[in-house]
């Protein structure tokens, strides 16, 4: 850990932004983004922000209100919706209208609604400021779909994490079944393909690497190898 702190200190001096480092990580569902980003942030001693959780929190509200997923109806709901992101012992928690919903946002229903509602301009506008303010005030590893392209275009490092569709679906299926959810691999793969299509074909902020992204494919890498590789890429870039 001492070594890590030293690594970061050396790089902090070069960022010239009051010592704040912003690392943007984008990629498709199941690429291992959250797990890898969380581990890398921990290794660096900085905050990990999972922006997908914010879109999922909005989706939870839309599902509860049974609202049609279109821009105007959703805008009405958002006027009276409070989404908050808090850090409890370094772990991110999301709150919807004052209630901690962190454990309620990982269901297939919420995933699908988050994918369709995140294409709406009003939803993206509603969440943009919150994400940018966190990164302005804190060193962060922030993951999502448009972090490098829209949320933090001036990030110190931009990474695009990917893996084959089958590998990603298998990882997500294992994660869901380990949590006790009753889904088949085929269902997960089908849902994932639909979400991949939605996320990369929407008009605003579609999922795509930036020109200056480092692309990392984790298909053949274990979790430990992915974390190590990402950490080394980050250190090398920051030390240039
Ligand atoms: O990363 P995730 O699977 O938890 O994200 C849920 C959905 O939210 C995903 O289908 C796309 C959307 N999303 C987005 O549009 N932009 C982000 N920065 C993060 C997530």
Domain ranges of the chain: 2-22+51-219+231-235
Statement: 2-22+51-219+231-235 belongs to CATH 2.40.160.40: no
Contact 56, 111 (CB under 8 A): yes
Give the pLDDT score at 2: 42
Site to probe by mutation for ligand 1, drawn from 55, 104, 152, 160 as the one with most ligand atoms within 8 Å of Cβ, is 55
CA distances from 5 to 167, 183, 235 (A): 34, 42, 12
pLDDT (0 to 100) of residue 74? 96
What are the start-end ranges of the E strands in 35-114?
47-50, 83-88, 91-96, 99-100
How does pLDDT run along the chain (240 residues), one tens digit per residue?
A: 344 544 544 444 444 467 899 999 999 988 889 999 999 999 999 999 999 999 999 999 999 999 999 999 999 999 999 999 999 988 899 999 999 999 999 998 999 999 999 999 999 999 999 999 999 999 999 999 999 999 999 999 999 999 999 999 999 899 889 989 899 999 999 999 998 998 899 998 889 999 999 999 999 999 999 999 999 999 999 988
pLDDT of residue 91: 87
Tell which atom from ligand 1 comes closest to the C-alpha of 55: 8
Probe residue for ligand 1, chosen from 28, 61, 111, 145 as the CB with the greatest number of ligand atoms within 8 Å? 145
Residue nearest to atom 15 of ligand 1 (CA): 118
CA distances from 112 to 39, 59, 125 (A): 26, 9, 20
The Cα–Cα gap between 55 and 204 comes to 14
Q: With a 6 A CB cut-off, is 110 part of the ligand 1 pocket?
A: no
Give the tokens for residue 210.
């930036």
- Residue 7 CA to ligand 1 center (angstroms) comes to 31
């Amino acid at each position: 850990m001492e070594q890590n702190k030293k690594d970061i200190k050396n790089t902090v001096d070069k960022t010239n932004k009051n010592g704040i480092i912003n690392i943007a990580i984008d990629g498709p569902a199941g690429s291992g983004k959250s797990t890898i980003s969380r581990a890398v942030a921990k290794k660096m001693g900085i905050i990990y922000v999972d922006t997908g959780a914010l879109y999922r929190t909005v989706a939870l509200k839309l599902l509860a209100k049974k609202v049609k997923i279109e821009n105007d109806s959703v805008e009405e709901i958002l006027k009276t919706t409070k989404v908050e992101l808090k850090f409890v012992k370094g772990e991110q928690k999301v709150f919807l209208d004052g209630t901690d919903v962190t454990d309620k946002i990982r269901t297939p229903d919420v995933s699908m609604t988050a994918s369709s509602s995140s294409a709406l301009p009003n939803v993206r506008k509603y969440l943009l400021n919150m994400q940018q303010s966190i990164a302005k005030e804190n060193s962060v590893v922030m993951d999502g779909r448009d972090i490098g392209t829209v949320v933090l275009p001036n990030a110190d490092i931009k990474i695009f994490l990917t893996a084959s569709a089958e590998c990603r679906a298998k990882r997500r299926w294992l994660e869901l079944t380990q949590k006790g959810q009753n889904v088949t691999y085929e269902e997960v793969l089908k849902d994932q393909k639909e979400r991949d299509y939605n996320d990369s074909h929407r008009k605003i902020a579609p999922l795509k690497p930036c020109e200056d992204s480092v692309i990392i494919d984790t298909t053949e890498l274990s979790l430990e190898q992915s974390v190590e590789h990402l950490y080394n890429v980050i250190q090398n870039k920051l030390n240039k």
